[in-house]
């Protein structure tokens, strides 16, 4: 697949509206994200379907139900495709095409401990980047922890420092 060279075009997108996560069981995923976010979805059990919508997604037909959670800076759409039902993705941090959704927190260890106590499972222990492990060097001290949602979507907690901070 060929892409235009950045020297010839600059679209200039500046803001994200939402991230969509395909799920196998909307009710199970809504319960997971409600516990994680401490909020009710703003939209739940809505549906989308139709030939034009299917075509826009490169599918022969589409029927889905969805729920939406709103964070302060991003929406999370949980989408259960009823037609066509897709195969489970083989996601992992190192698999090309895999993405992750990162939640910013002030203290990864305290959130990690609260989440573990509540029954959330993590892929490993929290990690703090040390000198010589990360560029830019001012990102040293950034804490991270990784976990998955019920369908395996990659999720992260981060307490960013320096170059990993968004400067807000």
Using alpha carbons only, what angle is made at residue 29 by residues 64 and 76, rounded to the nearest 5 degrees? Answer: 75
Of 95, 168, 91, 163, nearest to 129 (Cα)? 163
Beta-ladder partners of 154: 100, 148
Q: Last residue of some domain: 83, 109, 129?
A: 83
pTM: 0.86
Q: Last residue of some domain: 28, 56, 83?
A: 83
State which residues form the domain around 134: 100-164
Predicted local confidence at residue 89, as pLDDT: 82
| Residue-wise pLDDT tens digits, 100-129 | 999 999 999 999 999 999 999 999 999 988
With a cut of 90, say whether residue 141 has pLDDT above it: no
Instruction: Tell me the pLDDT band of 68, cut-offs 50, 70 and 90.
Output: very high
Same structural domain, 72 and 118: no
Is 5 part of a structural domain of the chain?
no
Cis peptide before 85 (omega within 30 of 0): no
Instruction: Tell me the pLDDT band of 136, cut-offs 50, 70 and 90.
Output: confident
Report the chain's terminal Cα–Cα distance, integer Å: 36
**Once rounded to an integer, what is the mean pLDDT over residues 85-92?**
83
Same structural domain, 72 and 116: no
With a cut of 60, say whether residue 168 has pLDDT above it: no
| Residue-wise pLDDT tens digits, 20-63 | 999 999 999 999 999 999 999 999 887 888 888 888 889 888 88
Count H helices and E strands in the chain, helices first. 3, 8
């Amino acid at each position: 697949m060929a892409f235009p060279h950045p020297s010839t075009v600059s679209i200039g997108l500046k803001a994200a509206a939402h991230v969509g996560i395909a799920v196998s069981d909307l009710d199970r995923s809504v319960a997971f994200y409600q516990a994680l976010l401490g909020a009710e979805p703003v939209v739940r059990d809505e549906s989308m379907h139709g030939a034009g919508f299917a075509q826009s997604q490169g599918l022969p037909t589409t029927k889905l139900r969805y729920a939406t959670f709103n964070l302060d800076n991003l929406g999370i759409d949980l989408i259960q495709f009823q037609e066509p039902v897709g195969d489970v993705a083989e996601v992992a941090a190192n698999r090309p095409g895999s993405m992750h959704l990162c939640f910013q927190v002030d203290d990864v260890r305290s959130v990690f401990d609260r989440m573990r106590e509540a029954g959330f499972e993590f892929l490993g222990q929290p990690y703090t980047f040390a000198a010589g492990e990360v560029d830019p060097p001012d990102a040293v001290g950034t804490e991270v922890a990784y976990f998955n949602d019920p369908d395996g979507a990659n999720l992260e907690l981060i307490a960013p420092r320096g170059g990993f901070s968004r400067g807000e």
